[in-house]
Amino acid sequence: MTSGVDPLAMEYPKHTSKITDEAIAELKGLIGREIRIPVEDWRIGDSKYGIGDIKVLCRAIGDFNPLFFDPEYAKGTKYGKQVAPPSIIAEMLQIDPGREVLCGARPVLKAVTLEWQVPILEGDAILGKTCVRKVEEGAAPSGDGRVVSQEYETTITNHRGETVGTAKHTFECYERGSAAEAALFADRVPARYNSEEMEAIHQEYRGEEEAKVIRGAEPRKWEEMREGERIRHILKGPTTSGAAPYLSKRVNSPFGLGYSGGISRWYDGLRDAWEQPEKWPELFLLNEHGALEPVEAIEWQHVRSMRFLKLPAKEANSERIHWTAQLVTNWMGDDGFLKKLDLKFPKINILGDITRCYGKVTGKRVEDGKHLVEIEVWNINLVGDTVTTGAAEVILP
Amino acid sequence: MTEEKETKAEHRGFGMADKEGKKGYGTITEEALNALKSRIGVERVRAGKPWQIEVSRWTWSAIRAQAQACGDYNPLYWDEEYAKKSPYGTLVVPPGALYGIEQINAATDGMPGMHALFRGLALEWYKSIVLGDIVTGKAYLTNVAVKGSQLSGQSVIQEYDTYGYNEKGEVIGKLFTSWSRHERQAAKASHETARQSARLLARYTSEELERLREDFKNQAPRRGSEIRFWEDVQVGEELPYRIKGPTSQAQRMVGEGGGGRRGGVFAEIGGTSDWGQLHAQIWKMFERHPALPFLNDQGIPEVPVAIHNSNDWSRQYLGLPGGYDAGVQRVHWGVHLLTDWMGDHGFLRKITIRFPQTVMMGDTTWLRGKVTNKRVEDGKHIVEIDYTHENQLGHTVTAGTAEVVLVSRSDPHAKTWD
């Protein structure tokens, strides 16, 4: 079965995909319908966040705020127990664009708005219900290729039936191999770091620790907030393919609820290597071995992405939701409450990028007896692209 | 950012250059041998905090992830209603999970810098593992022996016994592992690696892929709830084959790299392993273990497990034809072959396994077994099986023996395990 050629040295045709009228019509047919991953009652108990589950979540997003990570510390706060990083609600979208709808297209998260009502605590299970709100075919920003924009709204509740919050996601789906898709990448090439640059990154992380970016127990007082006050930035990355499988679309949330677990939420690589291509051929391409492999996996390394897609590997925009939320939750302290996070992702990152997350206070107000602080947030990557813009609202004591 | 200033030493990894200067690093010395021998019989337990142990409880989602990683859709693992009616009365954990009791592996135990090759293992099960169980382990180094080797002149055999315990403190099973340690420089020039390098990666034509698809579809169904009686088994009887592969990077990430919460013994990003960390935390890890990371294609330090799950990086950093497997999932595949044959009422009580060859990424493996003997021991009706796993080149990559306890017609309601 080996044919004497080296599969890693061969040239491969560019993988392409098309978004059909039927696929758009099918997606439009879902508008207004409630979508949720079915969960039997007997599984709810299993889905409750234990101490370890929240820690695992913290590791996945690189957030070691002791309020989230350390149950002993958390006991001493007003919550009395570990709190789950609030940005997890972004992972509760109950439908998978580019797979379950617009199958085979490249999904790109363009915007997300998260709002919270109550915290998620150790012992809670969270559930989601998603509605498709809008489906629109847009003119491609530049170059040929269909681009379909979709808005989804997800309501997240806990197992007690309380509304935890809402998540609104805006995706754009691109035809793979199109000029419109290529335009997302502009002229980005993978960064190449030398040892001095790596050491500088290492030292920047140490600097964060020394700067005590996590406010912790000392409350930040609303009265003292001043417009223009800067939040000390945090650094993330450089991202690697070791992490990519888990973050190819979604952050690894501990449970099967929502879109979690990376590729394993839909593919086992053994039985599914035969059965899934029959159901969803658009999700696969013929790999170096002449066998079918999910396109999603090809995106984990630059070398494979260049080989088959003729594009570098892209970071998942959704990672920046968790990083930006972390900037704010670090700053607000244990007594703050993140009420809203509204983000846009005007540009992409590629694998290996570093990203710095920035914020500054832009205003404050009192609403329904709550003392709110408005914060502008933005992320800049290593080539100076503003890859995230947005705003947060925090309730301070 | 694009100017390349790295020296050759830096390419070997973050701080690796320092270690290799140390006297005796990577060679068999009297001192290193004695240090290792002093650990014989000492109880070893992988450091773990209570939350890391609790998170290893076999919940329904953990069982599902484990079964999915093996590609095993036995309803005993997936279907609560079915499992309730089975002899177990509840969801069952795929038995290969017992391998998770491993506490220590020779690669990181003594004789720093010496290459470690996994020779084989044996697993024994005394009790079943089911929904809600937590299994912990205690390991003991049992054997350290120098011997001559074709591979590199001299090598050291290093062996462990590990016992698995349930929450009541009962021993539920045992793992035996055997390693050989080789001087790295010599290993590089070995015949074995030369042979592996000569083999090209699999590349299937569409006709060949079609034949694999037929083999996949023609797999006989599992025995399931229909009891396989010991009396009905013939010596010489062949087990229905199973086929696994062609494997891919996607499959590796689910099957060995830790898809979801638990998928294998290797780095789980977001999991409990220290290797599965990101951003600020991974730098802390590299501070503690400066020789651990390699520098990837972008000059970024990464944990080494990322290499073996990549054809390109295994080629670039190790001089191998492509990505190689770590052996873990072959244990699970072998268990799948046996449990599918024995049915819901049988009990897998023992396997031995050795790894004559690597499974490269892209390989397809056929799992076959044959009954070699039947016996009754302490009232248990046992069937002995020889099994092999063969790849698409016809090479035996895995081989071993198994013992299965079956129900006897003389006592059809007896359970086959304690």
Q: pLDDT digit string (tens) for A143-185? A: 699 999 999 999 999 999 999 999 999 999 999 999 999 999 9
Give CA–CA dist A25/A23, Å, rounded. Answer: 5
Across B249-264, average pLDDT: 60
Across A279-292, average pLDDT: 96
The three-class DSSP label of residue B371 is strand
Choose from A155-164, A234-243, B49-58 the range with maximum mean pLDDT: A155-164
**Which has more confidence, B114 or A344?**
A344
Across A372-395, average pLDDT: 98
Mean pLDDT for chain A overall: 90
| Among chain B residues, CA nearest to A246 | B269
Q: Give every CB contact of residue A320 below 8 A, 6+ residues apart in sequence.
A: A343, A345, A349, A355, A357, A379, A387, A388
Helix (H) or strand (E) holding B215: helix B206-217
Which of B68, B283, B296 lies at the smallest CB-CB distance from A264? B68
Across B89-100, average pLDDT: 94
Q: Give every CB contact of residue A153 below 8 A, 6+ residues apart in sequence.
A: A130, A131, A133, A166, A167, A168
- Closest of A233, A236, A238 to residue A194, by C-alpha: A238
Any idea which of A154-168, A194-208, A282-296, B308-322 has the lowest mean pLDDT?
B308-322
Q: Strands, E, within B9-114: which ranges?
A: 43-44
**Distance (Å) from the alpha carbon of B356 to chain A's nearest alpha carbon:** 20
- Would you place residue A254 in the very low, low, confident or very high pLDDT band (cuts 50, 70, 90)? very low
Reply yes or no on whether the pLDDT at B3 is more than 70.
Answer: no
Give CA–CA dist A318/A359, Å, rounded. Answer: 18
Residues 302-361 of B with CB under 8 A from A: 302-303, 305-306, 310-312, 315, 322, 361
Reply yes or no on whether the pLDDT at B269 is more than 50.
Answer: no
Give CA–CA dist A242/B270, Å, rounded. Answer: 11
Cα R_g (chain A), whole angstroms: 21
B5 touches chain A (CB under 8 A): yes
The values of phi and psi at residue A121, to 5°, are -115, 160
Give CA–CA dist A208/A201, Å, rounded. Answer: 11
Q: Which residues pair with A309 in a beta bridge?
A: none
Residue A253's pLDDT is: 36
Reply yes or no on whether the pLDDT at A2 is more than 90.
Answer: no
The three-class DSSP label of residue A200 is helix
B75 touches chain A (CB under 8 A): no
Give CA–CA dist B254/A354, Å, rounded. Answer: 27
Question: Which pair of structure tokens corresponds to residue A13?
Answer: 């045709």
Q: B-chain residues within 8 Å CB-CB of A352? A: 298, 300
Q: Strands, E, within A41-176: which ranges?
A: 106-116, 126-138, 147-158, 163-174
Q: Classify residue B213 by burial, with Cβ atoms within 10 Å: 0-12, 13-18, 19+.
A: middle
CB atoms within 10 A of CB A244: 23
DSSP string, A329-370: HHHH-TT-EEEEEEEE--S--BTT--EEEEEEEEEEEEETTE
Percent of chain A with pLDDT over 90: 75
Mean pLDDT for chain B overall: 85
Across A358-373, average pLDDT: 97
| CA B266 to each of CA A119, B59, B76: distance values in angstroms, whole numbers, following the listed order | 33, 20, 26
Percent of chain B with pLDDT over 90: 56
The values of phi and psi at residue A216, to 5°, are 75, -135
**Distance (Å) from the alpha carbon of A366 to chain B's nearest alpha carbon:** 36
Residue B194's pLDDT is: 54
Residue B360's pLDDT is: 93
- Best of B279, B289, B316 to disrupt the A interface (most A CBs within 10 Å) is B279
Reply yes or no on whether the pLDDT at B178 is more than 50.
Answer: yes
Reply yes or no on whether the pLDDT at B51 is more than 60.
Answer: yes
Q: What is the pLDDT of residues B217-238, one digit of tens each?
A: 999 999 999 999 999 999 999 9
- Would you place residue B10 in the very low, low, confident or very high pLDDT band (cuts 50, 70, 90)? very low
Residue B23's pLDDT is: 59
Residue B200's pLDDT is: 79
Q: What is the pLDDT of residues A18-51, one digit of tens each?
A: 999 999 999 999 999 999 877 777 677 777 888 8
* B283 neighbors B84 (Cβ within 8 angstroms): no
Q: What is the pLDDT of residues B99-152, one digit of tens each?
A: 989 888 888 898 887 888 888 999 999 999 999 999 999 999 999 999 876 555
Give CA–CA dist A395/B21, Å, rounded. Answer: 56
Across A85-100, average pLDDT: 91
Residue B193's pLDDT is: 57
Q: Which residues pair with B124 in a beta bridge?
A: B174, B350
| CA B8 to each of CA B147, B286, B316: distance values in angstroms, whole numbers, following the listed order | 34, 20, 14
* B50 neighbors A249 (Cβ within 8 angstroms): no
